[in-house]
Every structure is written in structure tokens, then in C-alpha cells.
Chains A and B, each alone.
Chain A
């Protein structure tokens, strides 16, 4: 096996990076692949709670880097999906405890034994971001159809270009189809026009995302929600499948009736 390293980043905070990592990880692992998630947000760890693994942390990434434990000891196995692991961030350590070369070394160590390594980048464009992209084979940028998120995503694209990384792909998260329809939210086409990078996923705004994180059960595990389906589709695209984007237009009664009539 030669694991592929995917880094999920965004520039702006709160756009859904951690949710994306948790759901892609679950979707890939449910497909029988061995997946390791690394929480790169030292000092503000969250991937553990979104995945529902917060009570099982003994060692973290700083313990690995500083040699207090073996890599394997810090990998928490998800009980629901035996091929899914989390390496948590340290919560109380200085965020400079890990360097980009530490991340490259850690990923190189993991690569032979896993299919996917997903790195949850912190917001911002400082050290934690540099760490998160250092080992990336592919970077996914999460954005929301909203001014500041798009602007920050563009900054990140520029930084990746400067680092001569492979071209990143874009996930437009929290799209509200009815707002787009009435012209009060940027559409995916608008966001693409502005950023001009490949769109790999479109995820609708979905209350189930909050419910799932309340329970510590990623959406892709159980609920048949639209967002969960959108994340599963992104995972399939990462595997090289051609999957069409979801039909997100919220349909009015007349449209639905017209559709039904058309089917006859």
C-alpha cells in the first residue's frame, strides 16, 4: 500500500474542515480502506469530538513527534469502523511543537500501511497550515458560498501555487439551494468563476451535521442526509470514480408535480 495524503484546509475558520475530514474518513473506511486522520490543529483539537473518540485519547501527535510513544500507540481505532484511525492533536502544547518536516516524516512512516491519510488543517495560513500541507499529495480547500470564506480560499490557493503544490480541489460546503435560487447566495458556478479551481464536492447546508456532531457519529455512518450523501460522493471521486453532483435545487410543489407528470 502507498497511502495518499489528503489535506483539508480553508484559510477561514468555521467553514466545515473538521466535519469534512470526519465524513470523508468514514466514507473511505466504510469502503474497506484503511484510513488515518491526523488532527493538525494543535491547541484547538476538535476532530476527536466530531468523530466521537474524545474519551479514548492517551497519546497525541506531539507525543509521537517528541518520541514519548510509538506512532501506533497514538492511533485511536474507531470501534465502528475497524480500519479507521485518529491521531489526535495535542490540546495543551505549544503549536510550534510540530514542524513541517515532522509531518512529512510521520506521513512517510504511515504511508506503507494505509490507503489514506487525511490531515485536518487549522484555520489560518501560519505554522499549523504549513505543517498540514507539507506532506500533502492533494489539498482540498473547503469554502462556503460567502464573501470572506471565498476570499480566504483564494489566498490559500495562491499560497499553494507559490509552494508549487499539486493543483488543489474545492469543496463548496453549506450551500443553501433556495438562497441561491432567489439570488441571495453565490452559486457554485459563481464560486468557480472566482476561484478557478476544480470543484470536487458540493455539500448542502444540513441540520443533520450539527446533530451528528452532537452525537459524535459522523453523518456518513448512519443518517441518510443530503450532506452525508454529498460527502460520500466526494470520497468516491477521491477514489477516481466519476460521480455526478447532487440535484440540490429545492423544488416547489409545481415543479415536483411537473416532474411527476413528465415521468408518465
Chain B
């Protein structure tokens, strides 16, 4: 255990679990982080054509529910008032 781990109290089993959670999601759906990033960019491009959104607050991620995976996109829309002011 490194000094840092001792300090934060983080044990190797919990990092194993976190790492596995990510690895398993990508194994199951065969979507690499790079593909996910490309998907996000394209999604943003399409949506921006119709709706005013703030790219920095968009979250597109893979989520697990039991043994099934879903693609979750959280895309906040800029309020109308702010758009007018801009």
C-alpha cells in the first residue's frame, strides 16, 4: 500500500471493483471510450442544429442496470431568456 493509499484509506479491492466496472461495460457493449467520444461529438452537432445547448455541460455515458447496458445522454438546454440576452 502506498503512502497516498494509506492517507485516503482506499484499498486495492475498491480500485479493482471500479476498474472492473468500466472494463466490463466496454467489454459488454464493445464501445471504446474513443467511440463514445466520437458519438458524443456527432450527437452534439446534430442537436445544436435545432436546439441551443452548452456543449460543456453535456454528459453522454454508458450506464449499467443489472446485466444490461444503456447509453445515457444528459443534455441541458439553454434557457430562452439567456439566449435572447446573448
Contact surface of A with B, Cβ cutoff 8 Å:
146-147, 150-151, 154-155, 157-158, 161, 180, 182-187, 190, 193-194, 196-197
Residue pair A184, B67 in contact (C-beta under 8 Å)? no
Residue pair B17, A151 in contact (C-beta under 8 Å)? no
Closest chain B residue to A187 by CB distance? B13
Q: Chain B, 16-39, contact with A by CB distance < 8 Å: what is the 0/1 string?
A: 110111011001100000000000
Majority DSSP secondary structure for residues of B touching A: helix
Residue pair A154, B24 in contact (C-beta under 8 Å)? yes
For residue A158, which residues in chain B have a CB less than 8 angstroms away from its CB?
A: 27-28
Majority DSSP secondary structure for residues of A touching B: helix
Closest chain A residue to B17 by CB distance? A190
For residue B27, which residues in chain A have a CB less than 8 angstroms away from its CB?
A: 151, 154-155, 158
Known contacts A154-B28, A180-B13, A184-B12; 15 additional CB pairs below 8 A are A147-B20, A151-B23, A151-B24, A151-B27, A154-B27, A157-B67, A183-B14, A184-B11, A185-B13, A190-B13, A194-B20, A194-B21, A196-B66, A196-B67, A197-B67
Residue pair A183, B20 in contact (C-beta under 8 Å)? no
For residue B19, which residues in chain A have a CB less than 8 angstroms away from its CB?
A: 147
A27 vs B13: C-alpha distance in the bound complex, in angstroms? 33
